[in-house]
Amino acid sequence: MGVSSRDMMGAMIEGEEDPKTRKGNKYLRAALIEVAHSVCRSDNYLGAQYRRIAARKGRHRAAVAVAHSIMGIVYYLLTRKEDYKDLGSHYFEQRQQEAIVRQALRKLENLSFQAALSASQAS
């Protein structure tokens, strides 16, 4: 049984997720989505996540995704009794840059080259 969604005509498309969220407390969901919309312009991890997803999938889906992340963060903090440490607004760009470097090294190694990289000092 595959996961599916509906196309423009209402027919199910095989292999895609249903865009509806699961059942839960509607008041908590509304509050979390409102919080997610409020962090859209902030200079932190959640703001960067919102902008990144909103560019691809739209503002509402981005808000739902950020609300889900907020719930995950809250659960993590409450169960482990730790303080929140923000990853920063540049987290996604740094991960993407690291992935590009790893891919380039792998391509060079596949072509029988040996490469050693060192980070240049920015002035």
pLDDT tens, 34-88? 999 999 888 889 999 999 999 999 999 999 999 999 999 999 999 998 888 888 7
Per-residue pLDDT tens over the stretch 10-33: 555 566 666 667 788 899 999 999
Distance CA 63, CA 98 (A): 27
Q: What was the pLDDT predicted at 80?
A: 93
**Residue in 91, 94, 97 with CA at minimum distance from that of residue 47:** 91
